[in-house]
Amino acid sequence: MMVAARNRPMLRILGFFICASFIYLTFRDLWLNHKRKPKLGFVKRNGTQFVVDDMPLYVNGWNSYWFMAHAVDEQSRNLVGEMLEAGAKMGLTVCRTWAFNDGGYNALQISPGRFDERVFQALDHVIAEAKKHDVRLLLSLVNNLQAYGGKSQYVKWAWQEGVGLSSSNDSFFFDPSIRNYFKNYLKTLLTRKNSVTGIEYRNDPTIFAWELINEPRCTTDVSGKTLQDWIDEMTGYIKSIDDKHLLTVGLEGFYGPENPKRLTVNPEQWASALGSDFVQNSNSSNIDFASVHIYPDHWFHNQTYEEKLKFVVKWMQSHIEDGMKELKKPVLFTEFGLSNLNKDYEPSQRDKFYRIIFDVVYKSAKRRKAGAGTLVWQLFMEGMETFGDDFGIVPHEQDSIYKLMIEQSCRLAKVTGRRNEHKLKKLCSHRH
């Protein structure tokens, strides 16, 4: 008993040192991991190239529009992290997703100026998860289409409040009350302090860029003046609040009635009568890069598969040329896809379609031209078929597409000298 009593102080000291050592080793590992991970820098533009930390960046990425909608629900929130992890494992660097849901189910903006904090926290979660997986986000701010509210919801709100000038959805672009609704939303979003990271959105380099509107069209003014005035006003307003992030319009890429390319490059005659013009809209002084979509099987009615492939190359090269000569800005192909509902569809057709698009961007990157990258439409996870469409892909379920996307990540990384970055070095050396 006396021996045990004598040893008690020694045991206490030993216990203290064991505890202290455990704490030291734990915090040392955390500190070393923190030190190893470089601080994320904002993506900037240098002429026709994206740059980050003074090195060129060519984008290989994807669309998952559904992130915020799934992050609202505890049961489906995990899918956001799983999708980001899957994208990161393919070397993908940017994901485009919706930062809007106006009116309707789980709306972010319930009515003009009224926001659901629960949904805002879901968007906070999306941004925090992206940061964790080293993926940047291209955040789209409103929809030209009706899905998730869109410009038609803003018009409804104006009518409900008795201030609407017109019932036309295009009044979104010219009605002063609606412009103020949208500006209020922009200010609220840009100055939002993330509840997870504590960083205001406008100060967060996880956000690659803002996209003003998804696929804008203003068919009531084919001249394009109405849409152009709106673009100039809204981009100026965004830059007055946030001058750190890049900004794009969100165009499909069609040439307007005054552009001679409407006759030689547009898919069909209707494309020049949508109130938009790729060059004019992208030339706005506050627009940092141009955006283009690629959907030949939606845009043509009587073309064969091979004819569509020829169009794709011509379409992309034309816009890259515009980026070099007219705009002197990067051109990012922010959506592309081949429908699996085509009557002659075979999976190998999609492989070839992707390959051709990736090759055009790779060749542009090697020559330091304006083709700045691509974003596949769209990727999702197993069990999400209701959120999929005729373009959607679960990556690891389609091995050939999965390998193509990894190959593109490695090719672009080699061009920019980023292949030695830890994540890419491991991915690309394993591929060989």
pLDDT tens-place string over residues 193-230: 999 999 999 999 999 999 999 999 999 999 999 999 99
CB 257, CB 273: distance < 8 Å: yes
When pLDDT is cut at 50, 70 and 90, the band that residue 365 belongs to is: very high
Report helix, strand and coil shares of the chain as percent, to nearest 5: 50, 15, 35
| Per-residue tokens: 332 | 């990012």
- Give strand pairing partners of 52: 55
* pLDDT above 60 (res 7): no
pLDDT, position 37: 58
Angle formed at CA 26 by CA 25 and CA 29, multiple of 5 degrees: 85
CB 141, CB 210: distance < 8 Å: yes
pLDDT, position 429: 80
pLDDT, position 8: 57
Please confirm, yes or no, whether 252 is among the known catalytic residues. Answer: no
Helix then strand count (H, E) for the chain reads: 15, 13
* pLDDT above 70 (res 419): no
pLDDT, position 26: 46
pLDDT, position 64: 98
* pLDDT above 60 (res 371): yes
Q: What percent of the chain has pLDDT over 70?
A: 90
* d(C-alpha 4, C-alpha 12), whole Å: 12
When pLDDT is cut at 50, 70 and 90, the band that residue 388 belongs to is: confident
* pLDDT above 70 (res 19): no
* d(C-alpha 4, C-alpha 16), whole Å: 18
* pLDDT above 50 (res 33): no
For 93-161, list the strands marked E by DSSP. Answer: 94-98, 109-111, 114-115, 136-140
Least trusted range by pLDDT, from 110-114, 255-259, 409-413, 423-427: 423-427
pLDDT, position 250: 98
* pLDDT above 50 (res 32): no
Catalytic pick from 215, 268, 306, 407?
215
pLDDT, position 426: 82
pLDDT, position 154: 98
* pLDDT above 50 (res 157): yes
Pairing of strands 136-140, 94-98: parallel
When pLDDT is cut at 50, 70 and 90, the band that residue 149 belongs to is: very high
CB 361, CB 312: distance < 8 Å: no
Catalytic pick from 129, 211, 335, 407?
335
Q: What is the mean pLDDT of residues 284-288?
A: 98
When pLDDT is cut at 50, 70 and 90, the band that residue 14 belongs to is: low
* Residue 244 dihedral angles phi and psi, to the nearest 5°: -90, -30
Give the number of other CB atoms < 10 A from CB of residue 390. 13
Q: What is the mean pLDDT of residues 259-284?
A: 98
Model-level pTM? 0.91
* pLDDT above 90 (res 40): no
When pLDDT is cut at 50, 70 and 90, the band that residue 409 belongs to is: very high
- Give strand pairing partners of 210: 139, 247
Please confirm, yes or no, whether 215 is among the known catalytic residues. Answer: yes
* d(C-alpha 112, C-alpha 340), whole Å: 39
pLDDT, position 274: 98
Least trusted range by pLDDT, from 38-42, 80-84, 395-399: 38-42
Q: What is the mean pLDDT of residues 376-391?
A: 90
List, for residues 64-115, the tens digit of each pLDDT value: 999 999 999 999 999 999 999 999 999 999 999 999 999 999 999 999 999 9
When pLDDT is cut at 50, 70 and 90, the band that residue 383 belongs to is: confident
Of residues 17 and 147, more confidence is placed in: 147
Q: Is 2 exposed, middle or buried (0-12, 13-18, 19+ CB in 10 A)?
A: exposed
Q: Output the CA–CA distances (angstroms, integers) from residue 139 to 63, 186, 292, 316, 366, in the order listed.
A: 10, 12, 16, 23, 28
List, for residues 238-269, the tens digit of each pLDDT value: 999 999 999 999 999 999 999 999 999 999 99
Q: What percent of the chain has pLDDT over 90?
A: 83
Of residues 16 and 187, more confidence is placed in: 187
